[in-house]
Amino acid sequence: MIKLKVNGVTRQHDGDPDMPLLWYLRDELDLKGAKFGCGMGLCGACTVHLNGKPVRSCSTPVSAAANAQVTTIEGLSTDGTHPVQVAWQELDVPQCGYCQAGQIMSACALLAKNPKPNDADIDTAMNGNLCRCGTYLRVRAAIHKAAELTASNATKPATKPAAKSASGAGANLLPRNGGKK
């Protein structure tokens, strides 16, 4: 029997210990946020946190999560108020949206250890998360935005407007250069 905590709730699994964590989360716990994309850890759509570190749940057996803390996108917030979720909405990052739970979980893990990443830090942390629709420029800009939101939440009154997105210009949500710094 495997015991683990998923989004703060204690769970136990009596079935196949080799079953990938992804299928345990999706089909046994009905947490559908993490997605199946490749089954080989190549696309990152299934990314969840295992003791705070991003892992590809499609190729992580449930047994590897024994006595560990698992966080899925459902565990970030129930109302979309986590700064990364806020940034993703403000910049309207998704197109089809299928990869975005994985993108968001990788982004959260990055920001937890590096609260003010530069472009190179972001590219390194996010290169394992593929986006078939090609929303990378917005993903990167949203990570900068989330970093700014977190910093301003920590130090400023809530009424302060969010800092401007990465590089100004542009009539729309995103700067024309896609948030490159």
Partner 1 sequence: MSKMNLNRRSFLRATALAGGGMMLGLYPKVAALAQPGRGAAPALAPNAFISIASNGIVTITAKNPETGQSARNMLPMMIAEELDVEWKDIKIVRADLDAKYGSQFSGGSTATPGNWEPMRQIGGAARHMLIAAAAQTWGVPEAECSTASGRVFHKASNRSLGYGELASKAATMPVPDLKSLKLKDPKDYKIIGKTTIGAETKDVVLGKPIFGIDVTVPGMLYATFQKCPVYGGKAVSANLDAIKAMKGVKHAFIVEGQPITGNFMTSDPGLEPGIAIVADSWWAAQSAREKLEVKWDEGKWATQNSVDIAKKADEISKQPAARTLRKDGDVEAVYKSGAKVVEGAYIYPFISHAPLEPQNCTAHFQDGKMEIWATSQTPQNGRGMVSRILGIPENNITIHLVRGGGGFGRRLNNDYMCEAAWISKTVGAPVKLLWTREDDMQHDYFRPGGFQYLKGAVDSNGKLVAWQDHFVGYGDGERFTASGNIDGGEFPARFVPNFLMQSSVMPLGLKTGALRAPRSNVYAWVFQSFIDELAHAAGKDPVQFRLDLLSSGTPGGMNAERMIGVVKLVAEKSGWGQRKLPKGTAMGIGFHFSHQGYFAQVAEVTVLANKKIKVNKVWSAGDIGSQIINPGAAENQTQGAVVDGMSELLQEISLKNGRVVQSNYHQHPMLKMSQTPPIEVHFIKSNNSPTGLGEPALPPILPAVCNAIFTATGERIRTLPITKQGFSFA
Cα(93)–Cα(116) distance, rounded to whole angstroms? 20
Provide the mask over 144-163, with x wherever binding to partner 1 is found by CB under 8 A and - wherever it is not. --------------------
8 Å CB contact between 56 and 44: yes
Q: Which of 4, 137, 147, 149 binds partner 1 (CB under 8 A)?
A: 137
Provide the mask over 72-111, with x wherever binding to partner 1 is found by CB under 8 A and - wherever it is not. xxx--xxxx----x--xx--xxxxxxxxxx--x-------
| Site for partner 1 contains 181 (CB under 8 A) | no
| Site for partner 1 contains 11 (CB under 8 A) | no
| Site for partner 1 contains 117 (CB under 8 A) | no
8 Å CB contact between 6 and 67: no
| Site for partner 1 contains 33 (CB under 8 A) | yes
Cα(25)–Cα(22) distance, rounded to whole angstroms? 5
8 Å CB contact between 69 and 127: no
